[in-house]
Amino acid sequence: MKKLKTIFVAAGIGLLAISVFFFSSFSSTKKNKATYRTTYRSIPRGCVFLTLMGEESSVGSFAYKTPEKVAASIEKGLTWIVRAQHPSGGWGAGSHSRQDVMDPHAVQPDPATTSMVAMALLRTGTTLHSGLYSAELKRALDYILREVERASDKSTTITDLAGTQIQIKLGSNIDVIMASQFLSNLLSSDDLDSQLKTQVKKALNTCVSKIQRAQEANGSISGSGWAGVLQSSFATNALESAQAQGAKVDNDALNKARDFQKGNYDAKTGNVNTSMGAGVSLYSVTGSARASAKEARKVEEEISKAKREGKLSQNAPASAESLEKIGYDKDDAMKYSTAYNVYNSAKVQAQRDEVMDGFGSNGGEEFLSYLQTGESMIISKDNTWDTWYNNISGRMLKIQNDDGSWSGHHCITSPVFCTATSLLILSVSNDADKLIELGNNK
């Protein structure tokens, strides 16, 4: 039975009323009664609701006043997903062999899914010390730290679980990759006391070491699943984020990871290497865009600066020749111009309807790919981001389930994993400042 409640959100100078539908329990878990701790909460500065509702701007052109229906969609998704948490603090996607099990409490928790949910809580305004779901976030962190700290030093992963939906479809090392990304995101929130920060940094370095040991000679990550290119792409992102937080990242390993992702797309011909992407262009092309975003931004900024200073003509292209004129050596000029071309071509490809359709229906792999496109566009300070967001937010709202969750229709079907990823997509502008900082070339 649906119950209509009104949440009053304290936002800056005023009070916003957002009416959203809450459901009394998971339909498949009759024991769980709905419990709501409060109907009023103060939203921390920078939270998704302030940005989405126009009370506070995010960074630059990524300030975006999203319709109230998107904020209501996010609230419904959050309400659903926090009730899916296990007593251990984790969340689970379930096994590949039992994809029909959609009850989030009837599956085992796993680090990859837990990390995705925890990142969604962070992005939508929860911290360890504030927000409606801070208790859930603390329990999630405790779960991840336990998994990392008890993992064998010789292993490339952090869990004894095998055969999960996420592992079979993305790769056997996806748990440590997602955990690494979560720990980096948490460190960037500046919400940890000195003791906890030391513990989290140690766990992050453990994860980074495991990821780098799992790297193949070509830059990909071993243990590739059905869409292993996504595992490798998220490993690249994880190493990039960890490096920004001061973790012990090998530059050669990070460059190899980026080169592998960029190499899956030929900007001149538009050909996509889908050999590790289940034959689906979307999975490969979004990884190429994400891996080249930072370097593409560097080219754009330095070419623009050279034009302002009169070192290049106003119609000079962002080519290897132009980069050599402003001081790049031949090898670097070719490397950066290639990255620039890959990004600008791949991000267009990634937004074509026939490419966005992915495998032909919505699965967790599609949602992950959409997330990569949005983050890459913010990292590169791409001013066409709002066009992408208008399109993707419309798509996501149309496929949200009545109970507030999202679920996949192939491969990664888990409603928990798909809901976490969908929340990260819809609230991506809330991390605009962090993503733009990640794209800075120091």
- Using the CB atoms, write b or e for 321-349: b if 16+ within 10 Å: ebbebbebeeeebebbbbbbbbbbbbbeb
Band of pLDDT at residue 276, cut at 50, 70 and 90:
low
Q: Please identify which residue in the block is written with the tokens 């957002």.
A: 18
- Residues 284/286/290/291 CA torsion (nearest 10 deg): 20
| 232-262: pLDDT as tens digits | 999 999 999 999 999 999 999 999 999 998 8
Residue 193 CA from chain centroid, whole number: 25
Least confident stretch, 172-176, 200-204, 336-340, 359-363: 359-363
Residue 432 CA from chain centroid, whole number: 12
Tell me what pLDDT residue 10 has.
Answer: 34
Q: Give the whole-angstrom CA distance, residue 80 versus residue 402.
A: 10
Tell me what pLDDT residue 20 has.
Answer: 34
Q: Give the whole-angstrom CA distance, residue 60 versus residue 238.
A: 25
| 285-343: pLDDT as tens digits | 888 889 899 999 999 999 999 999 999 999 999 999 999 999 999 999 999 999 999 99
Nearest to 23 by CA among 69, 74, 107, 83: 83
User: What is each CA distance from 129 to 10, 117, 190, in whole angstroms?
Assistant: 17, 17, 11
Q: Give the whole-angstrom CA distance, residue 406 versus residue 415.
A: 5
Which amino acid is residue 440, in one-letter code? N
Q: Give the whole-angstrom CA distance, residue 429 versus residue 394.
A: 15
Instruction: Answer whether 428's CB lies under 8 Å from 124's CB.
Output: no
| 359-418: pLDDT as tens digits | 555 777 889 999 999 999 999 999 899 899 989 999 999 999 999 999 877 678 899 999
Q: Which residues, 6 or more positions from 267, have their beta carbon under 8 angstroms from its beta carbon? A: 338, 341, 342, 344, 345, 346
Backbone angles phi, psi at 7, to 5 degrees: -100, 125
Band of pLDDT at residue 14, cut at 50, 70 and 90:
very low
Tell me what pLDDT residue 123 has.
Answer: 95
What residues are paired with 20 via a beta bridge?
5
Nearest to 303 by CA among 291, 286, 289, 315: 315
What is the residue-wise DSSP string for 56-71?
Answer: S--SGGG-----HHHH
Q: Give the whole-angstrom CA distance, residue 408 versus residue 362.
A: 5
Tell me what pLDDT residue 442 has.
Answer: 60
Tell me what pLDDT residue 44 has.
Answer: 36
Which amino acid is residue 394, in one-letter code? G
Tell me what pLDDT residue 64 has.
Answer: 58
User: What is each CA distance from 163 to 93, 156, 211, 311, 384, in whole angstroms?
Assistant: 11, 16, 19, 56, 39
Show the CA angle centred on residue 242, arms to residues 305 and 46, nearest 5°. Answer: 70
With 50 as the cut, is the pLDDT of residue 28 above it?
no
- Predicted structure pTM score: 0.84
Residues 50-68 have a mean pLDDT of 50
What is the residue-wise DSSP string for 229-296?
Answer: HHHHHHHHHHHHHHHHTT----HHHHHHHHHHHHTTB-TTT--B--TTTTT-HHHHHHHHHHHHHHHH
Q: Give the whole-angstrom CA distance, residue 374 versus residue 142.
A: 29
With 90 as the cut, is the pLDDT of residue 23 above it?
no
Q: Please identify which residue in the block is written with the tokens 């506070």.
A: 56
Backbone angles phi, psi at 355, to 5 degrees: -80, -40
Instruction: Answer whether 321's CB lies under 8 Å from 386's CB.
Output: no
With 60 as the cut, is the pLDDT of residue 61 above it?
no
**Would you put residue 94 in left (φ > 0), alpha (ψ -120 to 50) or beta?**
left
Residues 74-88 have a mean pLDDT of 97
Q: Give the whole-angstrom CA distance, residue 38 versus residue 41.
A: 7
Q: Give the whole-angstrom CA distance, residue 116 versus residue 424.
A: 8
Angle between helices 134-150 and 111-123 (to 10 degrees): 140
| 94-125: pLDDT as tens digits | 777 687 767 888 899 999 999 999 999 999 99
Tell me what pLDDT residue 360 has.
Answer: 54
